[in-house]
Amino acid sequence: MDFDLSEDQRLLQDSLSKLLKDKYGFEQRKGYMKSETGWSRDVWAAYAELGLLGMPFAEEDGGLGYGAVETMIVAEQMGRSLTLEPFMSTVVMGGGFLRHGATAEQRAAMVPEIAAGNLLLAFAHTEPQSRFDLNDVATTAKKDGAGWAIDGRKGVVVHGDTADQLIVTARISGARRDRDGIGVFLVPANAQGVTRRGFGTSDGQRAADITFDNVKVGAEAELKGGLALAERVVDETMAALSAEAIGCMEAAKDLTVDYLKTRKQFGRPIGSFQSLQHRAAEMMVCLEQARSMAMLAAMMASEPDAAERRRQMRAVKIEIGRNARFVGQQTVQMHGGIAMTMEYAGGHYLKRLTVIENMFGDMDHHLAALSEEGGVFLAA
Amino acid sequence: MELRFTEEERAFRQEVREWIDANLPAETRERMASGRTPTKAMQVDWQKRLYAKGWAVPHWPVEWGGQPWSAIKRFILSEEIQSTPAPTPLGFNCNMLGPVMVAFGTEEQKKHFLPKIANLDLWFCQGFSEPGAGSDLASLKTRAVREGDHYIVNGQKTWTTLAQHADWIFLLVRTDPGAAKQQEGISFLIADMKTPGITVRPIITVDGAHEVNEVFFDDVKVPVANLIGTENRGWDCAKFLLSNERTGQARVGASKERIRRLKLIAKEAPGGARPVMEDPRFRSRLTDVEVQLKALEMTTLRVLADENRALSQRKPNPASSVLKIRGTELQQAISELYVMAAGPYGLVSADPEADRWNEPEVAQDWQTLAQATYFNWRKQSIYGGSTEIQKNIMAKAFLGL
C-alpha cells in the first residue's frame, strides 16, 4: 500500500503546475472564455508539447503509455486552474474509446494527430429523454450498403462544437432502453447531415446540440464493444472527473481560508470566528474524504471486472458529489458577496463542481443503482 | 502509487481469520455478534490468548511484546478482530497507558507493569475528566500533594469507563497549582484501585447501561514511585496519549461488520408490505452510509501508509483528523439504521448486562438492542475530544485560523 507519487509522476505534476501558473491565471482564463473557441489553442499546443495529449495511449500507437494515476495528476492540476480545454473530451473520453474500441489502423491514423494537438474528439451520448442512462438511445444506426446511416439528436455534447470527430452512441437494434443493440460510431463532425449548434455551459465551458440526418459512415466507423465499451470509458472518465473535482475543491478551500485570514469585520479577521473555523474544518474533512475516493477511482479505473468497477465508481461519484457540493457552497457562503460575482474565482469553483456533480449521473442516480446492485460491501 | 494489498498481506489476513476462528470462544463470539459488549471475563480471557500469540500489542516495541510489522499489517489484524467480531484489546491498557509508559516510564516501571498491561493481568481505567474539566481538560483540579515518599490525592474523576472492572487507574493530578500555565502543574500517576480512600460510584447512562463511573479520591496515598515521567510534566504524557492510535478511532472494521449484519437482518425484518431491506428509501440510506464508510476506509489506509514512513519524514496529516470526526458520525448513523429497521419492536427495553437479558422475549435480540445502542453511541462524538474540539484543532493546526 503506497499512496506516494513516483519521481516521474511528481515531475509531471510540477511541470503542468508550472505551465498553468504561467498561462492560467484567473484573468487569462477570462480571456480564453471570450475567445471564439471558448478555450485556448495556445494552451492546447503547450499541453501537446508537454506530452499530455498522447499520455494514455500505448507507445506503439504513438503515446506515452501512462495510466490512471497520471491522468489523476493531470486532471487535479487542471481542476485547480479551472481549465477550459477539451482534455476530458479528447484525451480521456476520446482516448478511451480509441484504446478500447478502435482498430490498430484507426489508432495509427488518429493517435499521433491527437498527441500533436491537431485532432479533437467529443462523446455524444445524452439525448433529450435519456437523462443519465447510457442505454437509453433513440438515435438509430441503420445498415446502408456496407456502412451505416445515422439519424437522431444528441444534446449537451461537451466540446462538441469544436470537435473534429464525434463518438456517437446509436441503436442498431432493439427497443429504446435495451442494453443490447447499441453501437458506438466514429462520425466526422463535418460529415454531410451533421448539424451543430454550439452553446456555453453553466461552468463557462462549451458544448453543442447535434442532429444527425441520414449521416453516412463506413463499416469501419463502428467501434468494437457497444454499450460495455461506453460504460468502461465513462467509468474511466468519472475517475478523471473526480480528480479534477479534488483540484477544484482544494483550490476553493485554499482561497476561502486565505480570505478568512485577511477579510476583517467587527475589527478582526473573520477567520477568528468559531462558526467559520468549524465550517472551514468541515470543508477539509470533505476534501480529504473526496480525495480518498479519487484515489480509489484511479485504482478501480483499470479493474477488469466490469460489475465491480461500476459499483466502486458509483460510490466514488456519490461521495465526490456530496463533498463537492458542500465545499462549493461553503466557498461562496464564507466569502460572502464577493464570491457571488463573475469577477472572482470562488463562484466559478462552485459552478464547475456543480457540473461535475451532474455529469454521468448525480448522487441520487448512482445511489439508486448502487442499492439495486447490493451496495458497496457485498456479502462475502 | 499502489493501492492494493500485497500477496503477503492477503495471506496474513487469512492466517488471522483462521486463528480467530479456532481460538475465539463460542460464547464470546455469540455475545458480541448480538451487539452486546463482552463481559470482563470474556475480555480478559481473549486478551490473554492474543498476548500468548504475540498479537495483543503489535504496535509496541518488540522488546515489550510488539511485532516488527508495518502499519498495514497491524491494521489487518485489528480489522479482522473487529469484523469477526471479537473483543478489541483493552484500549486503556494497550493504546493509552502502555505507549505512555514505554515513552515516559522508568526501566523498573516498564519491567514491572508492561507485561501485566499487555496480558491484562491488571485492568487499567482512565482518570482524566472531572466534573469541571471536560473539553477543557487542563483545568482539572484533583490535587496531589507530596508528603515524603507519597502523594496525597484528593478530588474527583468522572466518566471513568469500566472503573468497576479496573484493578488500577492512571490519572492526571495537579501537583503545582501555582504554575504560570494550567498545563504546567499537572502530573501523571498510576494508582491501585484498592488503595484506601478510592470510591467508585456508578453512573447509569440513558440506555440503562453501567459503563461509566465517578471515582472519588479522599486522602489517597500514592507512592512517588507511581509517577510516570517528570513531576509537573504530566501534560506531555496526556498529549502523547491523546495523539496515539488515531486510526483506531475510525473503527472501520467494526462498522463494516455492523453493516453486514444489518443487511442480513433487514432482509428478514418485517416492513409492512415487504421486508425492510426492500424499501428503496431505507436501502438508499444504507447505501449512502456504506459509500461514506468506503471513503473512510480509504482515508484510514492513507493515514496508515503515512505511519509506515520514518518519523522524521512524517508530516502532520490532515486526513487523520477526519478519522475521529467521520468515524464516529458513521458509527452513529449505522446505529440509527438499526433503529429504523427495528420499527415498533425497537421500543422494547432490555438490560443487556443481565444474564437472562431478553426476557420476556417480546422482541428479537437485535430489536431490543437497537435503541439502546443508538442512545449509547451518542457518546462517540463526545469522548476522546468531541467533534467540536477536533474541529478547533484542525482550524488551528492545519488551516492556521
Q: Is the residue at A378 inside a domain? A: no
Active site residues per annotation of B: 245
Range 6-45 of A in CB contact (< 8 A) with B? 6, 9
Asked whether residue A76 is assigned to any structural domain, the reply reads yes
A139 and A94 co-located in one domain: no
Indicate where chain B has its CATH 1.20.140.10 domain(s).
245-397
Residue-number span of the structural domain to which A355 is assigned:
227-372
| Cell 445511489, residue located | A367
Task: Note whether A197 and A325 are same-domain residues.
Answer: no
Which residue type, as a one-letter code, is found at position B208?
Answer: G
Indicate the residue type of A168.
V
Residues in chain B: 401
Based on the fold, state whether residues A221 and A262 are members of the same structural domain. Answer: no
- From the list B259, B284, B298, the residue facing A367 with the nearest CB is B284
Going by pLDDT thresholds of 50, 70 and 90, the confidence category of residue B2 is confident
Provide, as residue numbers in chain B, all residues whose Cβ is less than 8 Å from the Cβ of A315: 290-291, 294-295
Residues of chain A with pLDDT under 50: none
Structure confidence at residue A235 (pLDDT): 98
A237 with A352, same domain? yes
Contacts of A306 (CB under 8 A, 6+ apart): A228, A231, A232
Q: What is the rounded average pLDDT of the residues B294-319?
A: 79
Band the pLDDT of B350: cuts 50, 70, 90: confident
Contact A257 B400 (CB under 8 A): yes
Please indicate, yes or no, if residue A379 is contained in any of the structural domains: no
In this structure, the answer to whether residues A52 and A38 fall within a common structural domain is yes
What separation, in Å, do the N-terminal and C-terminal C-alpha atoms of chain A show? Answer: 22
Residue-averaged pLDDT of chain B:
93
Q: Which of B252, B394, B401 to mutate to test the interface with A (most CBs of A within 10 A)?
A: B401
Q: How many CB atoms lie within 10 A of CB B110?
A: 18
Closest CA to A29 of A345, A328, A300: A345
Q: How confident is residue B134, by pLDDT bands cut at 50, 70 and 90?
A: very high
For residues A290 and A324, what is the distance between their CA atoms, to the nearest angstrom? Answer: 8
Helix (H) or strand (E) holding B124: strand B124-127
**pLDDT above 90 as % of chain A:** 98
In this structure, the answer to whether residues A269 and A296 fall within a common structural domain is yes
The pLDDT value given to residue B184 = 96
Q: Answer for the pair A346, A285: CB distance below 8 angstroms, yes or no.
A: no
Rounded Cα distance between B301 and B298, Å, is 5
Q: How far apart are the first and last CA of chain B?
A: 32
ipTM (interface pTM): 0.96
Confidence at residue B357, expressed as pLDDT on a 0 to 100 scale: 83
Q: Do B322 and A288 touch (CB under 8 A)?
A: yes
The C-alpha of A87 sits at a distance from chain B's nearest C-alpha, in angstroms, of 23
Task: Give me the long-range contacts of A300-307 (CB less than 8 A, separation at least 24).
Answer: A300/A235, A300/A239, A301/A68, A301/A71, A301/A235, A301/A236, A301/A239, A302/A67, A302/A68, A306/A228, A306/A231, A306/A232, A307/A373
Residues A262 and A368 in one domain: yes
Cβ under 8 Å to B: A residues 307-336: 312, 315, 318-319
Taking an 8 Å cut-off on Cβ atoms, the answer to whether B3 and A299 are in contact is yes
User: In angstroms, what separates the C-alpha of A264 from chain B's closest C-alpha?
Assistant: 13
Residue B309 pLDDT > 80: no
**Orientation angle between helical segments B280-307 and B71-83, nearest 10 degrees:** 150
Higher pLDDT, B316 or A331: A331
Pick among A259, A262, A376 to test the B interface (most B CBs inside 10 A): A376
* Closest partner CB to B301 (pick from A1, A367, A377): A1
Closest chain A residue by Cα to residue B325 = A285
Measured in angstroms, the CA of B29 and the nearest CA of chain A are apart by 18
What does the pLDDT read at residue A2?
A: 79
**Co-location of A255 and A218 in the same domain:** no
Tell me the pLDDT band of B303, cut-offs 50, 70 and 90. Answer: confident
Name every residue whose Cβ is closer than 8 Å to that of residue B300 and which is 6 or more positions away in sequence.
B75, B247, B250, B252, B323
For residue A114, is it within any domain? yes
pLDDT > 60? residue B311: no
* Min Cα–Cα distance to chain A from B123, Å: 35
Say which CATH architecture domain B245-397 belongs to. Up-down Bundle (1.20)
Q: What is the DSSP code (8-state) at residue B399?
A: T
Residues of A in contact with B395 (CB under 8 A): 277-278, 280-281
Residue B313 has pLDDT above 70, yes or no: no
Q: What is the pLDDT of residue B359?
A: 85
Nearest C-alpha in A relative to B2:
A2
Assess if CATH 3.40.47.10 describes domain B124-232.
Answer: no
Asked whether residue A309 is domain-assigned, the answer is yes
Contact at CB, B294 and A293, closer than 8 angstroms: yes
Model's pTM, two decimal places?
0.95
- Shortest Cα distance, chain B CAs vs residue A137, angstroms: 26
CB contact under 8 A, B260 and A377: yes
Q: Give which of B370, B363, B321 is closest to B341, Cα–Cα.
A: B370
Q: Does A262 touch chain B (CB under 8 A)?
A: no
Residue B247 has pLDDT above 70, yes or no: no
Instruction: Tell me which chain B residue has its CA closest to the CA of residue A375.
Output: B287
CA dihedral for B331, B336, B341, B346, sign (positive or negative): positive
Q: Which of B89, B173, B62, B96 is nearest to B128 (CA)?
A: B173
Q: At what angle do helices A226-262 and A306-335 cross, to 10 degrees?
A: 20
A1 CB neighbours in chain B (<8 A) are 2-6, 9, 72, 301, 304-305, 308
Can you give the pLDDT at residue A306?
96
In degrees and rounded to multiples of 5, residue B353 shows phi and psi of: -80, -20
Query: What's the pLDDT at B243?
Result: 74
Please state the rounded mean pLDDT for residues B110-124. 98
Annotate A48-77 with b (16+ C-beta within 10 A) or e (fewer).
beeebbbbbbeeebbbbebebbbbbbbbbb
Is residue A363 within 8 Å of A357, Cβ to Cβ? yes
The pLDDT value recorded for residue A19 is: 98
Instruction: Please choose, from the candidates A72, A144, A81, the residue with its C-alpha nearest in 3D space to the C-alpha of residue A293.
Output: A72
Give the residue range(s) of CATH 2.40.110.10 domains in chain B: 124-232
For residue B321, the model assigns a pLDDT of 80
Q: What is the pLDDT of residue B193?
A: 98
Instruction: Note whether A297 and A201 are same-domain residues.
Output: no
Identify how many contiguous H helices and E strands chain A contains and give both numbers. 12, 10
d(CA B299, CA B73) in angstroms, rounded, equals: 16
Task: Confirm or reject contact between A82 and chain B (CB < 8 A).
Answer: no
What SS3 state is found at A350? helix
CATH number at residue A298: 1.20.140.10
Q: Give the residue carrying C-alpha cell 468519472.
A: A238
* DSSP strand pairing (A206-217 vs A147-158): antiparallel
Q: Which three cell numbers stand for residue A188?
A: 466526422
**End of a domain among A105, A120, A135?**
A120
Domain closes at, from A176, A196, A226: A226
Is the Cβ of A298 closer than 8 Å to some Cβ of chain B?
yes
Judge if A71 and A97 occupy the same domain: yes
Sign for the CA dihedral angle at B320, B326, B330, B331 comes to positive
pLDDT at B246 over 70: no
Which residue pairs from B175-178 have beta carbons closer than 8 angstroms and sit at least 24 positions apart in sequence? B175/B144, B175/B145, B175/B146, B175/B151, B175/B231, B175/B232, B175/B234, B176/B232, B177/B143
Q: What is the pLDDT of residue B314?
A: 62
Count up the domains in chain A and report the number.
Answer: 3
Question: Cβ neighbours of residue B142 under 8 Å, at least 6 residues apart?
Answer: B127, B130, B153, B154, B155, B156, B157, B171, B172, B173, B174, B217
Same domain, A206 and A339: no
